[in-house]
């Protein structure tokens, strides 16, 4: 087991936005005592509970599965609950994700994000008569879309994408990941509809394969590759393998 | 007052809430009110699987599942409910598959199944493969699948609205009051039906697997309005939480063959439970660990033991247990391919909660008198299918079976036969007074010390091992904290997305839930399931084969306790051996 490296002092610089109090965002620095294996989320909690109750961010599961606490840490989108302080140096900058309207401090408006998600019909489409028991699917067919089922809709990929920053209309990587999850599911019959939606001007072609999304994904999804697979499915009209 | 009116108001957007919404999506007007975005709900953290006697890999029967559930619950399970759970799990799992849930598959393309603690073949002969799973993110896939279906069915969500009051008028539930986090406004939801699906309250303990959002909101709000809480002393500690952090390492690890080892490298479970070994039920395995530590066999003399998966090999670890091995790497810096993972028991699951019947209707007393219009499902509820100790995977079964049943009952029976009860006058008065009180107070202590002291107290005195002295100490402390909470002060007195306000309301809810837990534990002078007392080490079926009902009283720390008999249909109580 890795040894904890004791208590140390770090400086956390947070981009604040307090509507009603101050009209413009501003940076504020906090000094905190942390343990090496504290999560960044623990550090934010410490600031909020002990120093400044007005510090505002979302959080819930605290171990990287609920997707609440995506934020920009030292210039990269991360989940605050998956980052350990020992990996962050002694001066840390924290700000809300780019490309989202800010509600307060690190809390961004996720409604437009979920609206784009809904646009790609992120649910199984199949109107064939249901068997009495399960539909059959081979382990290989199941494996085909395994990776994109891991998405937790945290927004880290979408918020790291320069094409999203440049054009708020574009569906963004997370929506494509969730379309991919169904397009390549052998039980689904809605692939053509989704490919149609994703082939228009706000669809996959705005992806410039910059790979920020892949780097940002806290679930290790190769987002850019998934987008490429969807692009190829549109070009070649097929969802069979690669 | 901001007013909304719906046939059905569902509070909570986890598995149980969304499952009931699914049954009602056609026809009724429904609102799902959730303090989180639905996909953030704690259902998503469930890992190992959902049990159903599909028999895809070996012979299995729902009656075996029912028996295991009853025995696992140390005979405090209501057996009519246990039967419903085991029978209907099968169709509910097929529903999930039909909605697209990506279950792992057998070589012939069926849903794959694996072993899990306490699940046996032929009434206890040995482990059986009953847990249907999607890698070690089954809960995530259930939550995503149900949310996808909600999108398809255009369910109306009120996201980031926190319920702060429940409205009951003239003996019928008629609404809730919620705080909109975004702008601090107070909303009244008038409903013909209210479904509470708000989850558990693990955040009352210092070491917990639970999300920060698991603060017993539904239980506390109902308790304040005169609804009893059932069997709250039955709180499960999961044996394998990451050391010091509490993050869950699923029982699926042991289902796949992982070992628990003490400082001598011994698989100590074999000594205590020769048949089921590491797959004995959670209450027992947690006690085995505590016992090993007490007898000096913790690792390096400390309060933890090892969970080892290394012998399973990389391939199986990556295919079956990818997330939990990542947790060990990420949070403890341990590589499970080669190294054992330090673990300790972690506060995990409330078997108790708001009493309901098998239709999900909330019942108010020993005679199961229904409170019209109010339903509860999932961890917030106590049907009781888990009795004194829940089996692994039965939480997800509970969500889908009873969420489904509640929804179906509302649609088929309740809505056609009922009218809206009128709201009480000034329906949001109590909620508004509480919120305005908190936002205006400028003196008093802030939340942190009260929260920390509550969680430490629950961990020390209301944990795996209890006795009269510890529980008396806990009562005294609880009364003190309740008093201090009355004059708590916020640092943040603004209205936009005030999460400190939310946290303080949550803390108040945790205190209410803890009160019922401690009082129930103190009065239950026996050991049964998760409730283990060193001063009453034996189960006492003569005096305590009954459910505790705790009603809030005016005296802090002292709810009125009443008892309701357990429903026994087929399986007479026996000594539990594994």
The model's pLDDT over A164-182, given as tens digits with 9 standing for 90+, comes to 999 989 999 999 999 999 9
What is the residue range of A202's domain? Answer: 111-236
Local confidence band at A111 (pLDDT 50, 70, 90 cut-offs) = very high
| Contact residues for B112 (Cβ-Cβ < 8 A; gap 6+) | B56, B57, B103, B104, B105, B106, B132, B133
Contact assignment for B152 to A185 by CB distance below 8 Å: no
pLDDT tens-digit profile of B19-53? 999 999 888 999 999 999 999 999 999 988 999 99
Counted domains in chain B? 3
pLDDT under 50: residue ranges of chain B: none
CATH number at B523 reads: 1.20.58.100
Chain A residue with CA closest to B300: the answer is: A1
Q: Residues A15-24: what's their mean pLDDT?
A: 94
CATH code, A38: 3.10.20.30
Domain boundary among A53, A79, A108: A108
Taking the CA atoms of chain B, what radius of gyration do you get in angstroms?
22
Q: How far is B127 from chain A (nearest CA, A)?
A: 24
Rounded to the nearest angstrom, the minimum Cα separation between B8 and chain A is 23
Query: What are the CB-based long-range contacts (under 8 Å, 24+) for B315-323?
Result: B316/B256, B319/B135, B320/B114, B320/B135, B320/B136, B320/B252, B320/B256, B321/B135, B321/B136, B321/B250, B321/B252, B321/B253, B321/B256, B322/B135, B322/B136, B323/A65, B323/B47, B323/B135, B323/B136, B323/B137
Number of neighbours of residue A90 by Cβ within 10 angstroms: 11
Does any domain span residue B574? Answer: no
A140 and A217 fall within a common domain:
yes
Same-domain status, B180 and B296: no
Let me know whether B401 and B433 are in one domain: no
Per-residue exposure over B181-212, b if at least 16 CB sit within 10 Å of its own CB, e if not: bbeeebbbbbbbbbbbbbbbbbbbbbbbbbbb
Q: Any chain A CB within 8 A of the CB of B240?
A: no
> Which chain B residue is nearest to residue A116, measuring alpha carbons?
B151
Per-residue buried b or exposed e for A11-43, using 16+ beta carbons within 10 Å of the residue's own CB: ebebbbbbbeeeeeeeeeebebebbbbbbbbbb
Closest residue to A103, CB basis, from B211, B496, B500? B496
Asked if the Cβ–Cβ distance from B109 to A146 is below 8 Å, we say no
CB-based contact B332 A2, cutoff 8 Å: yes
Q: Are residues A182 and A165 in the same domain?
A: yes
Residues B207 and B244 occupy one common structural domain = no
B555 located within any domain: yes
Single residue among A85, A108, A131 that ends a domain in this structure: A108
Judge: B109–A53 Cβ closer than 8 Å, yes or no.
no
Domain end, chosen from B345, B377, B400, is at B345
Residues B482 and B535 placed together within one structural domain of the fold: yes
Chain B contacts of A151, Cβ < 8 Å? Answer: 144
Q: Is residue A2 part of a domain?
A: no
The residues of B annotated with a catalytic role in the active site are 282
| d(CA B454, nearest CA chain A) in Å | 15
What is the model's pLDDT at position B231? 98
> SS3 for B135?
coil
Q: Are residues B113 and B16 in the same domain?
A: yes
Cα separation of A137 and B319, whole Å? 17
Q: Output phi, psi for B242, to 5 deg.
A: -60, 135
Tell me: do B170 and B28 sit in the same domain. yes
Do residues B154 and B83 share a domain?
Answer: yes
Residue B199 backbone dihedrals phi, psi, to 5 degrees: 85, -165
Residues of chain B neighbouring A122 (CB-CB closer than 8 A): 148, 151
Instruction: Read off the pLDDT of residues B227-267 as tens digits, 9 standing for 90 and up.
Output: 999 999 999 999 999 999 999 998 889 999 999 999 999 99
Q: Is B45–A149 a contact, with Cβ atoms under 8 angstroms apart?
A: no
What percentage of chain A reaches a pLDDT higher than 90?
A: 91
**CATH code, B30:** 3.50.50.60
Q: Which chain B residues contact residue A1 at CB under 8 A?
A: 243, 332-334, 339, 342
Rounded to a whole number of angstroms, the distance from the CA of A8 to the nearest CA of chain B is 18
Q: Are B58 and B183 in contact (CB under 8 A)?
A: no
Cα(B7)–Cα(B27) distance, rounded to whole angstroms?
10
Residue B255 lies in a domain: yes
A153 and A227 housed in the same domain? yes
Domain span including residue B506: 429-564
Token reading at B296: 């000096």
> Given B363, B391, B417, which residue is the final one in a domain?
B417
Question: Both B397 and B497 in a single domain?
Answer: no
Among A108, A128, A150, give the residue marking a domain's end: A108
Interface check B444 vs A, CB under 8 A: no
Say if A95 falls within a structural domain: yes
Q: In whole angstroms, give the CA distance from residue B370 to residue B384.
A: 15
pLDDT exceeds 90 at position A241: no
Query: Based on C-alpha coordinates, what's the Rg of chain A?
Result: 20
- A210: how many CB neighbours lie within 10 A of its CB? 13
Nearest to A122 among B98, B151, B499 (CB): B151
In chain B, residues 294-313 whose CB comes closer than 8 Å to chain A: none
For residues A113-123, average pLDDT: 97
Q: What is the CATH number of the domain that holds A147?
A: 1.10.1060.10
* CB proximity B37 to A under 8 Å: yes
Same domain, A89 and A138: no
Spell out the residues 6+ positions from residue A241 whose beta carbon is closer than 8 angstroms to its own: A144
pLDDT band at A242 (very low <50, low <70, confident <90, very high): very low
Q: Are residues A138 and A75 in the same domain?
A: no
pLDDT of residue A2: 46
- Note whether residue B309 is domain-resident: yes
Asked whether residue B53 is assigned to any structural domain, the reply reads yes
Mutate to test the interface with A, among B144, B316, B439, B441 (most CBs of A within 10 A): B144
A242 within domain boundaries? no
Which secondary structure element, helix H or strand E, spans residue B132, and what is its range? strand B131-132
Q: What is the mean pLDDT of chain B?
A: 96
List, for residues B273-332, the tens digit of each pLDDT value: 999 899 999 999 999 999 999 999 999 999 999 999 999 999 999 988 988 899 999 999
User: So what's the pLDDT on residue B27?
Assistant: 83
Question: What string of H, E and C letters represents the secondary structure of B206-264?
Answer: CCECCCCCCCCHHHHHHHHCCCCEECCCCEEEEEEEECCCCCECCCHHHHCCCEEECCC
Under DSSP, the state recorded for B57 is: S
Residue B577 belongs to some domain of the structure: no
- Determine which helix (DSSP H) or strand (DSSP E) holds B325, and give its type and residue range: helix B322-327
Same domain assignment for residues A225 and A120: yes
Q: Which of A50, A130, A136 sits opposite B109 (nearest CB)?
A: A136
Amino acid B415: pLDDT? 96
Is the residue at A1 inside a domain?
Answer: no
Q: Pick the last residue of a domain from B417, B445, B462.
A: B417
Candidates B146, B305, B330: best to mutate against A (most CBs of A within 10 A) is B330
Task: Give the model's pLDDT for residue A5.
Answer: 55
Element containing residue B169 per DSSP (H, E): strand B161-169
- Kindly state whether residue B57 falls inside one of the protein's structural domains: yes
Burial of B18 (0-12, 13-18, 19+ CB in 10 A): buried
Say if residue A4's pLDDT is above 60: no
**A120 with A186, same domain?**
yes
Total of domains in chain A: 2
Q: Where are the beta strands (DSSP E) in A54-90?
A: 70-73, 76-79
- Whether the CB of B137 is below 8 Å from some CB of chain A: the reply is yes
Query: Given B148, B494, B500, which is nearest A122 (Cβ)?
Result: B148
Q: Which of residues 534-573 of B touch A (CB under 8 A)?
A: none
Task: Please list, in sequence order, all residues whose beta carbon lies within 8 angstroms of the beta carbon of residue B414, skipping any fewer than 6 positions away.
Answer: B192, B193, B373
Q: Which residues of B, range 460-489, sit inside 8 Å of A by Cβ?
A: none
Examine the pLDDT at A240 and tell me if it is beyond 70.
Answer: no
* Residues A117, A219 within the same domain: yes
Question: Residue with structure tokens 């059986």?
Answer: B128
Q: Does B575 fall in a domain?
A: no
Same domain, yes or no: A126 and A222? yes
């Amino acid at each position: 087991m890795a040894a904890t490296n004791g208590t140390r002092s770090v400086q956390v610089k947070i981009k604040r936005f307090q509507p009603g109090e101050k009209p413009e965002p501003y940076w504020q620095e906090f000094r905190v005592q942390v343990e090496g294996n504290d999560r960044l989320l623990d550090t934010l909690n410490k600031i909020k509970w002990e120093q400044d109750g007005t510090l505002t961010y979302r959080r819930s599961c605290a171990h990287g599965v609920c997707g609440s606490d995506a934020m920009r840490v030292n210039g990269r989108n991360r989940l605050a609950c998956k980052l350990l302080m020992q990996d962050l140096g002694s001066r840390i900058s924290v700000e809300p994700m780019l490309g989202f309207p800010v509600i307060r401090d690190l809390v961004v408006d996720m409604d437009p994000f979920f609206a784009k998600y809904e646009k790609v019909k992120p649910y199984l489409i199949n109107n064939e008569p249901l068997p009495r028991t399960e539909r059959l699917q081979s382990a290989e067919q199941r494996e085909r879309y395994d990776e994109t089922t891991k998405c937790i809709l945290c927004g880290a990929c979408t918020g790291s994408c320069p094409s999203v920053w440049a054009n708020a209309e574009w569906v963004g990587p997370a929506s494509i990941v969730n379309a991919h999850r169904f397009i390549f599911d052998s039980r689904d019959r809605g692939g053509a509809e989704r490919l149609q939606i994703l082939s228009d001007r706000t669809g996959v072609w705005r992806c410039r394969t910059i790979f920020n999304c892949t780097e940002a994904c806290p679930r290790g999804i190769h987002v850019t590759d998934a987008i490429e697979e969807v692009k190829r499915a549109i070009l070649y009209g097929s969802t069979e393998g690669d | 007052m901001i007013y909304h009116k719906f046939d059905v108001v569902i509070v909570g957007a986890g598995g149980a809430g969304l499952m009931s919404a699914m049954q009602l999506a056609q026809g009724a007007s429904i609102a799902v009110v959730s303090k989180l975005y639905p996909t953030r709900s704690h259902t998503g953290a469930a890992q190992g699987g959902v049990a159903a006697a599909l028999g895809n890999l070996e012979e299995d029967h729902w009656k075996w599942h029912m028996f295991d559930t009853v025995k696992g619950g140390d005979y405090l399970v209501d057996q009519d409910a246990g039967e419903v759970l085991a029978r209907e799990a099968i169709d509910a799992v097929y529903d999930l598959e039909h909605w697209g849930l990506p279950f792992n598959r057998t070589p012939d393309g069926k849903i794959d199944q694996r072993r899990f603690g306490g699940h046996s073949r032929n009434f206890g002969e040995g482990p059986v493969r009953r847990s249907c799973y999607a890698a070690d993110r089954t809960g995530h896939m259930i939550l995503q699948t149900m949310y996808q279906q909600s999108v398809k069915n255009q369910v109306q969500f009120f996201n980031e609205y926190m319920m702060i009051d429940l409205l009951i008028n003239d003996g019928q539930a008629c609404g809730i009051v919620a705080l909109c986090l975004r702008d601090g406004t107070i909303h009244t939801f008038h409903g013909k039906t209210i479904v509470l699906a708000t989850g558990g309250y693990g955040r009352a303990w210092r070491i917990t697997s639970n999300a920060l959002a698991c603060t017993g909101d539904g239980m506390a709000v109902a308790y304040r309005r005169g609804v009893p809480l059932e069997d709250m002393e039955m709180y499960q500690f999961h044996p394998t939480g990451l050391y010091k952090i509490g993050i869950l390492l699923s029982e699926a690890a042991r289902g796949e063959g992982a070992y628990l080892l003490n400082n001598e490298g011994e698989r100590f479970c074999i000594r205590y439970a020769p048949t089921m070994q590491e797959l004995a039920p959670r209450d027992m395995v947690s006690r085995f660990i505590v016992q090993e530590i007490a007898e000096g066999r913790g690792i390096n003399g400390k309060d933890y033991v090892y969970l080892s998966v290394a012998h399973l090999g990389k391939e199986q670890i990556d295919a079956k247990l990818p997330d939990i091995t990542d947790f060990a790497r990420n949070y403890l810096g341990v590589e499970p391919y080669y190294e054992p993972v330090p673990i300790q028991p972690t506060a995990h699951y409330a078997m108790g909660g708001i009493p309901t019947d098998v239709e999900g209707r909330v019942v108010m007393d020993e005679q199961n008198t229904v409170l019209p219009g109010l339903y509860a499902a999932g961890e917030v509820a106590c049907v009781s299918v888990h009795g004194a100790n829940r089996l692994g995977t039965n939480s997800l079964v509970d969500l889908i079976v009873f969420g489904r049943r509640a929804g179906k009952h509302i649609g088929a029976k309740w809505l056609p036969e009922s009218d809206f009860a009128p709201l009480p006058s000034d329906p949001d008065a109590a909620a508004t007074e509480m919120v305005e009180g908190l936002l205006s107070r400028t003196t008093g202590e802030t939340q942190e010390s009260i929260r920390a002291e509550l969680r430490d107290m629950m961990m020390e005195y209301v944990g795996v091992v209890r006795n009269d002295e510890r529980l008396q100490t806990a009562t005294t402390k609880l009364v003190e904290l309740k008093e201090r909470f009355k004059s708590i002060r916020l640092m943040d007195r603004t209205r936009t997305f005030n999460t400190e306000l939310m946290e303080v309301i949550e803390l108040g809810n945790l205190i209410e839930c803890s009160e019922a837990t401690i009082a129930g534990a103190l009065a239950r002078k026996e050991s049964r399931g998760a409730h283990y007392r060193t001063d009453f080490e034996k189960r006492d079926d003569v005096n305590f084969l009954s459910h505790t009902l705790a009603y809030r009283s005016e005296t802090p720390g002292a709810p009125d306790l009443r008892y309701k008999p357990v429903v026994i249909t087929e399986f007479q109580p026996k000594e539990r051996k594994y």
